[in-house]
Amino acid sequence: MRAQLEIFTLNFFQHELLIALREWLALEFNLHSLESSFSFSLDESFDPARRQYHATRIWEQVLKARQGSHHKLLVITEYDLFIPVLTFVFGEAQLGGRAGIVSICRLLESFYGLVPNQDLLFQRLCKEVVHELGHLYGLRHCYMPSCVMGPSTTVERVDAKEWKFCPECLETFARAREDLAMKLSHTPPKKR
């Protein structure tokens, strides 16, 4: 099966977690991925006053570098992220676009002074990755309380929602993936 998602890691050293995530995405969503490397330049992404990284500026680097790729592009990091209108974000993605980012910084129990919990971290990571993938496939925030596309402003909200789409969001997600597959099957090969 051809990969549909390219995953890049940035300051992320939990390789077993990444393997489990990739296997889970393939099993649950038939979404196959490959792990890629990239040399990030963080000079313009880091805000010293906030001590955080600008999410958009990071995923834009990957998008620019992979212009010819048809894959969805996702960065996974341990850096704390923000966008100018919010104090922090768990992730961000282009709506209906190709690139996004997810941070585990505030998904870690240790961020809140609690005992680390790898199972809980994996559940949270899966939810946030699916949420950002939903945005990449054109889904907006959903206000069904259990839908994975619900906005997450706190880690408690991440925990409260499920990893699944509600029926309406699932239909939109499936249709968007079908449309992309049809488009790619009709794309002529490019000379390299």
Which are the catalytic amino acids?
Answer: 132
Paired strand residues for 82: 54
Using alpha carbons only, how large is the chain's radius of gyration in Å? 16
Residue 120 CA to residue 162 CA, distance in Å, equals 13
Which residue stretches of 34-189 are H helix? 55-65, 118-136, 155-160, 167-185
Give Cα 94 distance to the centre of its chain.
10
Contact of 137 with 96, CB cutoff 8 Å: yes
Residue 134 CA to residue 165 CA, distance in Å, equals 9
Torsion sign (Cα): 107, 110, 111, 112:
positive
